[in-house]
Amino acid sequence: MLIDKYPPFLQELVELQALAAAQQPEYDRSLEELCGLHEDFSLFTLTERGTARWEEILGIARQRGDTLPIRRARIQTVYLSRLPYTGRALEDYLRQVSEQYTLQLDTANYQLYVDVLLDGYDRRAALLAVLAEMLPANIALQLLSMIRETVAASPVIPAAVVTTEVRHIHQPQGGVKNGQMATAERPAARHRSQL
């Protein structure tokens, strides 16, 4: 409480108690922002305020329905994009975006194949936009992205299944079992008119 910050002899004054009570909401809000200020030092722990600031700096338009992690991921993708003119720089960028990726350049056909594991569809769209800006105009990009999905645990439904299997071994007259060829000559085929 703000009133606790004053010396004990001033805490007894009615006017000071009323003043402290009026300033308490603003004090709490300022203290909360101050305690969370360190989270805005890193792109990976941005708060709502830090995210809005970085979106303004980088010129990223906030889309309707975006959650804070989605906005953070978009900021990280744009911030980490530098124009790589070498394969090593492109690999460094992909390593920062995802821990699992493969990169293959087909120089004869001017194709770049990128397989990458991402956290969401929004991250894929941002990566595709950044790679389109990074790559030279004469290289075609083939992007295969695998998206991690978290699925809520489905309820367990106990069930029992009973199956029965009936096998019948057919042994035709003449002693030939299923799957075996008869060694004796087969009777000649008859025409319909002979039947």
What tens digit of pLDDT does each residue of 63-87 get?
Answer: 888 899 989 988 988 887 766 567 8
| Distance of alpha carbon 64 from alpha carbon 183, whole angstroms | 79
pLDDT for res 55:
92
Two tokens, residue 54: 């970085």
Distance CA 67, CA 114 (A): 27
- Residue 5 to residue 8: CA distance in whole angstroms: 9
The CATH architecture annotation of domain 97-149 reads 2-Layer Sandwich (3.30)
User: Of 162 and 61, which is predicted with more confidence?
Assistant: 61
The predicted model gives 110-124 an average pLDDT of 85
Q: Per-residue pLDDT averaged across 15-27, rounded?
A: 92
Determine contact, residues 131/114, Cβ cutoff 8 Å. Answer: yes
184: pLDDT strictly greater than 80: no
pLDDT band at 96 (very low <50, low <70, confident <90, very high): confident
pTM, two decimal places: 0.44
The answer on pLDDT for 185 being more than 80 is no
Which of 109, 82, 113, 112 lies closest to 97 in space, CA to CA?
82
pLDDT of residue 18: 92
Give every CB contact of residue 116 below 8 A, 6+ residues apart in sequence.
Answer: 94, 97, 98, 100, 101, 102, 127, 143, 144, 145, 146
